[in-house]
Structure formats: C-alpha cells, structure tokens
C-alpha cells in the first residue's frame, strides 16, 4: 500500500514538474501596473520565453463600471494602463489562450501541434488554457465586487468580501466553468514564501455538489488557490482538454 501511494505521488509530481503556473498581480501607482506571473515562484514574475509570448492575452482590469485592457511595456510580462484607478474594487485578469501541445515519445513537448501535425510517435496530446485573477482594492472600498463571477472559462470566485479575508476565518469559494458550477474538483493553495518551486502546498480541498469549498488560512499574507479541470475532448487527433485557474488575494 505504501509503495502504491509513493508511486502515485511520484507520477503526479513527475507529470507536473515542467508544467508552468499562471498568476497575476497589480498595483495602483502613478498609473495602474500589472504583471503576468508565468512560472513556478509565486509571486515573482520571470521573463516569458519569446516563442510563448503569443499565448497570452493583454491583462484586463474589471470594475463595477469599468473595463480596461492594459498595454505591454518594458519586460514582456509587464503591462500598464493610461491612468491611476479611482476608488473601488477591481478584478485583475490574465489569460493563456487555448493551445494544443503534444508530448513525443522522447518526453519532449511541442507547441501548436496535434497528432496530425507530426510524423513522430506521440504519447499525449492536449489543448491547454490558463486563467488567473487577483484583486485591487483602492481606498478601502468594501471589496464586495470580488464576488462577481466573470462567467468565462474556469474560475475560482470568493463568496466573501475582501474585508472578511482574515487569518483563521473559514472562507467559502466557488469553482465555475463558463459560469456553471463544477463539483468534485481538487483545489490546492499556497502563500508567498512557502515554496520556491511550488511542488508542495499547504492547502487542499475538493469542491462539493454546489461547486464550493471552504478555505481556512492559518497564515496571513499573499495567498493563491488553483484548480485544474481535465476532460476528454472526443477528438482522436488531440484527446485531452485541460483548463487551469488561479486566484490570488491578501489575507489580513
């Protein structure tokens, strides 16, 4: 039994070893600024490989009466707006567009290909996408807007306001896909400084029949939660679909 558990865990870690994660962080300075964080060391951005720049949509800032699309400036993960945000609560959103990947028999991955695009032996093919959210609360607004479900793709949404996100408090979240609740999905979480390679995480839960779970942060600071929704595509040329979502927020 112990050997079986070790084998399963080894398989999980091996399959995720080269998989990148996606987060997003923003600040309201002389203008609003945001970074795509694509890698493993939350919340520190790193340069995105040139051939993968095409995979990311510009960062969006969404408010109750506002929607801004930021422009890329400086390092390729860095985005800026034209002005400073006004008082309110905002959702910051980054997206990695659905992209086909194949894993060949030698263990290498090739982007923008399916089985029909190569003569090599293919072990796996999947179409993968990622989305990331975080929040900006300007001038101590109530933070209720974070409970809004954007309704596109895989999404983790808090059912509490930012002011309720406190250490030791049970906080409820919901997972949706295109606005519909997703039950029995695994959720993992970690906080800044816990692990540099993101291979171990202090929080685990599974969504219930309502697509909801409870997160109780025993540590204050910057946290994230993430989930991965995998399913069969029904397409013999590329048999898997995988959507990954994260949400980052401050716990007081």
Query: Would you state the pLDDT for residue 169?
Result: 96
Tokens of 178: 């295109």
Residue 13: the pLDDT is: 37
pLDDT band at 117; cut points 50, 70, 90: very high
Confidence of residue 12 (pLDDT cuts 50, 70, 90): very low
- Give the residue from 158, 167, 169, 161 showing the smallest Cα distance to 141: 161
What is the pTM assigned to this prediction?
0.90
Give me the mean pLDDT over the 10-23 stretch: 57
Question: How high does pLDDT run on average in the chain?
Answer: 91
Predicted local confidence at residue 135, as pLDDT: 97
- Return the DSSP state at 198: S
Split at pLDDT 50, 70, 90, the class of 104 is very high
- What would the mean pLDDT of 107-117 be, rounded to a whole number? 95
| Per-residue pLDDT at 1 exceeds 60 | no
pLDDT exceeds 50 at position 30: yes
Q: How far apart are CA 208 and CA 199, in angstroms?
A: 25
- What pLDDT does residue 14 have? 36
Q: Give per-residue pLDDT as tens, 65-80.
A: 899 999 999 999 999 9
What mean pLDDT comes out for the span 242-248?
97
Residue bearing tokens 């807007």: 145
Pairing of strands 21-28, 32-39: antiparallel
Q: What is the rounded average pLDDT of the residues 226-247? A: 97
Question: What is the per-residue pLDDT for 26?
Answer: 97
Any bridge partners for residue 249, and if so which?
Answer: 223
pLDDT category at 7 given cuts 50, 70, 90 is: very low
Q: Judging by DSSP bridges, how do beta strands 122-138 and 240-251 pair with one another?
A: parallel
Q: Is the pLDDT of residue 6 over 70?
A: no
Kindly tell me if the per-residue pLDDT of 11 is higher than 60.
no
CB atoms within 10 A of CB 96: 20
Please give the residue that has the higher pLDDT: either 7 or 192.
192
- CA–CA dist 231, 152 (Å, integer): 17
| d(C-alpha 15, C-alpha 17), whole Å | 6
Place of tokens 């997206």: 95
């Amino acid at each position: 039994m112990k050997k079986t558990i070790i084998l399963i865990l080894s398989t999980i870690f091996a399959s995720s070893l080269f998989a990148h994660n996606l987060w997003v962080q923003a600040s309201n300075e002389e203008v609003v600024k945001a970074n795509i964080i694509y890698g493993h060391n939350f919340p520190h951005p790193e340069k995105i490989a040139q051939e993968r720049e095409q995979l990311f949509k510009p960062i969006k800032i969404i408010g109750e009466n506002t929607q801004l699309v930021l422009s890329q400036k400086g390092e390729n993960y860095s985005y800026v707006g034209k002005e400073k945000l006004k008082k309110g609560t905002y959702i910051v959103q980054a997206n990695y567009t659905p992209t086909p990947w194949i894993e060949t028999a030698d263990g290498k991955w090739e982007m923008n290909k399916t089985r029909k695009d190569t003569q090599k032996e293919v072990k796996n093919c999947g179409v993968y996408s990622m989305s990331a959210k975080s929040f900006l609360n300007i001038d101590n607004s109530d933070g209720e807007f974070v409970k809004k479900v954007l309704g596109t793709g895989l999404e983790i949404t808090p059912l509490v306001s930012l002011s309720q996100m406190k250490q030791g408090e049970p906080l409820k979240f919901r997972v949706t896909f295109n606005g519909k609740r997703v039950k029995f999905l695994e959720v993992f979480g970690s906080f800044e400084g816990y692990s540099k390679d993101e291979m171990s995480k202090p929080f685990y839960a599974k969504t219930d029949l309502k697509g909801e779970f409870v997160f109780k942060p025993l540590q204050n600071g910057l946290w994230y939660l993430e989930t991965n929704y995998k399913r069969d595509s029904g397409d013999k040329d590329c048999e898997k679909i995988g959507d990954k979502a994260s949400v980052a927020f401050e716990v007081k």
